[in-house]
Amino acid sequence: MSSSGPAQRAQSSPSVRATEPELFVNRELSFLEFHQRIVEEAADPAVPLLERLKFVAIVGANLDEFFMVRVAGLKQQQKSGVLEAGPDKMLPKEALPAVLARVARQAQETERILLGEVLPALRAQGIGVYAVEELPEEARRGLQTKFEHQVFPMLTPLAVDPGHPFPFLKNRTLNLAIHLVPERSQDEISPLLAMVQVPPLLPRFVDVDMPGDLAVVPIERVIKAHVGQLFPGMKILECVPFRVIRNWDLSFDEDEQEDLLDTVQKELRKRWRLDAVRLEISAEASTELVEQLHGALDLTLADVYRQAGPLALVDFGKLPARVGRSDLRDEPFQPVRSLDLRDGEDLFLAIARADLLLHHPYESYEPVVDLLERAAKDPAVLAIKQTLYRVNRESPILRSLIQAAENGKQVTALVELKARFDEEINVEWARLLEKAGVHVVYGMIGLKTHCKVTLVVRREAAGIRRYVHLGTGNYNEQTATIYSDLSFFTARTDVCDDISALFNLLTGYSSPPIWKKLVVAPLSLRQRVLEHIDTAKDAAKKGGKAKIIFKSNALIDPKIIRALCKAAQHGVEVILLIRGPCTMRVGIPGLSERIVVRTVVDRFLEHSRIFYFNKNGQEDVFITSTDVMPRNFDRRIEVMLPIEDERQRRRIVDEILALELQDNTKAAVLSPDGTYRRVHPAEGQKPVRAQAELIQLAKKRAREGFGAGGTEKRKKDKKKSR
């Protein structure tokens, strides 16, 4: 039986029609199916216990953000009567109940994993999360002493009646709702309602004196056990913890604002009072109490989530750091220094000698921090320019910018004030930077600046020289230890010219130049990607071989999805490594049956963005800050850079992409029904865990003394030994 070639297959393949709703999955439902992979990691008995607890916390954090943004958006659309559907053709009124039902099932499964598996197994290892009732008498007395001295003075009982309005409840904070009656009341009366808000300054988990490595009681259970002390003379009928999730999106017209920084600060203050979208409450709450709460918050019963265990699962992420049990964690790993950077060599000399490509967190993020620290102190450095999207609250990079300005250098920082969930930190840094003399700008009206670039201008013996860092991840040295990202350093004139022009575009009124190497959104990035897809398609149509690999955090853009389907129909091999939501439905005959979508969920967050195109052996490799989403192409400043050094291309293609494609331990493949099917080694096949392989490769290079460019060094060493 003979197999047909690409050209033959192309003749029998229909082209994608312009509007194919069956090709698209609802974005929110797609995210939840990816999110199920995180739930599965929490459930996996092969994952160390403390790592399972970490995944439970990630589930909680992700669902909080999902409701604050995506569900809040659906609710607003439904309330406004929006009748415009996305590519999947689901209206908001249809999508919302489907989303809420899927979340409910996911939340129940996560709670079962936490209460039925993870916490009991941790307790057996001497790490216990207890209810007050479970404590022995001596531990309970110690807890009461802590409550009276450390907790009670910070609490405020709040009556709710005609003279005391329902209190404002901040987003994601813990509260207790109480039904109570006077102790001396002989008649059956309706219970009174009261509240106690848990101050955020209190510890989330209170230590108790018990045998083992760690014993804690959630703060809300501590307060509940002693809440009667706040209401003397009253009989407590019920006291249940609850929390509220609110809409968290900023909304304002940038065109109408004279001072964007002041506007964002004002909007942040308003944000606490945005509409509630979700009520989490203890499962033991009475129907009457639940009705009172959801009525006061203008929510429906569909927005109420009863939980048998502790609320705010995200807070469980604080516990692993308090336990020193390496046997309950992933194998420890310390990022290695890239051996393309010689010991003691000045970083500017290293970059001037050759372009550098670093793969974090396997290779240390220190060179990125070092670049700014050196630039701040170096008398030869004249100017520094940097874009800032998500930064650490104690960022050494921003401290370096302040120091550089204080040292008299020209420093420009483009701070993105509208970076969702990081607006407050960015506003604080913007004020500090301005105070130090840094020239702070906030980008272009209507666009978020999402690219991650730094430009350092230095006076050298041969004249003015520029140095560039471009990353796929944020300037945040904390997340750089848990996010998989790429850093690229260069002093090449063509790239430096483009980065200089990019900053001129962002800070001034210059027109877009003819870019030498960069591809920039929203100017031409989508169009360039489409052109590469079309070129691959044309190569396959003519009987050649063509391949496309995308590594991205999301695949949502309809134009790109349709173009990929057309390319696949004509024989292009299309493999998509998508960490998060993917709105393409795979396996549809005549549309997407030849496309493979994979995702890897492991100890590090897959965050690097790579586009790979192969047309008859001609390879084009790009790194970028963009995800395949309409907002990134149309409403953000993004950059894409070709990797032209063959050694670096081979590392990206043969190491980073290849290992992820080989992963049969932590990978999953998207199925036609929109769910992910976990990949397992075939019989006799070697298990491959991509991130573990990359860790071992980094350690091996460090031991043997050669980096990504070490092949040449090893050859020289062999010659010397002869």
Which residues are known catalytic residues? 450
* Residue of 495, 493, 492 lying closest to 453 (CA atoms): 495
SS3 readout for 46-101: CCCHHHHHHHHHHHHHHHHHHHHHHHHHHHHHHHCCCCCCCCCCCCHHHHHHHHHH
Cα separations in angstroms, 113 against 39, 116, 117, 326, 621: 9, 5, 5, 22, 41
Judging by beta carbons within 10 Å of its beta carbon (0-12, 13-18, 19+), is residue 716 exposed, middle or buried?
Answer: exposed
User: From residue 420, how far is each of 145, 155, 416, 425, 635 by CA, in Å?
Assistant: 41, 31, 10, 11, 14
3-state DSSP percent of the chain in helix, strand and coil, to 5: 40, 25, 35
| CA gap 308, 112 in Å, rounded | 9
Is it true that the peptide bond before 203 is cis, omega within 30 degrees of 0? no
Quick one: which H or E segment has residue 619? strand 618-624
Of the candidates 123, 128, 118, 120, the one whose C-alpha atom is nearest the C-alpha of residue 208 is 128
DSSP string, 362-400: TB-SHHHHHHHHHHHH-TTEEEEEEEESS--TT-HHHHH
CA nearest 547: which of 559, 537, 561? Answer: 537
Q: Which amino acid is at 656?
A: I
Q: What is the DSSP letter of 522?
A: T
For residue 314, count other CB atoms closer than 10 A to its CB. 19
Rounded CA separation 25/546 (Å): 27
Of 56, 72, 31, which is closest to residue 271 (Cα–Cα)? 72
**Cα–Cα distances in angstroms (integers) from residue 690 to residues 453, 621, 632, in the given order:** 28, 20, 28
Q: Which residue has the tokens 């192309």?
A: 10
Sequence-distant (≥ 6) Cβ neighbours of residue 278 within 8 angstroms:
67, 71, 244, 245, 299, 303, 305
Chain-centre distance for alpha carbon 552: 12
